[in-house]
Amino acid sequence: MSAYVIFIREQSHNPEELRIYSQKAPDGLAGHSVTPLAVYGTHEVIEGPAIEGAAILEFPSFEEAKVWYYSPAYQDAVQHRLRGGTYRGIIIEGVPAAASQS
């Protein structure tokens, strides 16, 4: 069953750290089966506090999403994202294909 990693950027603090993250993050994707579904595009908050942006990444399974997130290559990058802004990140399991077609 697919799983999704969702990052919500609440506020940027250090653009240089975010630039470093954007350079390092693609290396963390190598060897992982991931599909970017949305990456900091146009958005509208319809509930809750304002955000600066969000990203949604699809993985084949919850476990594969965790393996990617905790991989040494991604951990090397993520430290810069977390220094660069205030973020929320979650991994959420999708619904079975049959359930989504009901």
Q: What is the pLDDT of residues 39-73, one digit of tens each?
A: 999 999 999 999 999 999 999 999 999 999 999 99
102 occurs within a structural domain: no
pLDDT in tens, 91-101: 999 998 766 66
Distance CA 102, CA 80 (A): 42
101 occurs within a structural domain: no
Q: Are 5 and 29 in contact (CB under 8 A)?
A: no
Domain of 85, CATH number, reads: 3.30.70.100
100 occurs within a structural domain: no
pLDDT at 22: 95
Q: What is the mean pLDDT of the chain?
A: 94
Look up the domain containing 79 and give its range.
Answer: 3-93
Number of domains the chain contains = 1
98 occurs within a structural domain: no
47 occurs within a structural domain: yes
The pairs formed by 49-52 with CB atoms below 8 angstroms and a separation of 24 or more are: 49/10, 51/8, 51/9, 51/10, 52/9, 52/10, 52/11, 52/12, 52/85
DSSP label at residue 46: -
Distance CA 61, CA 21 (A): 25
pTM of the model: 0.88
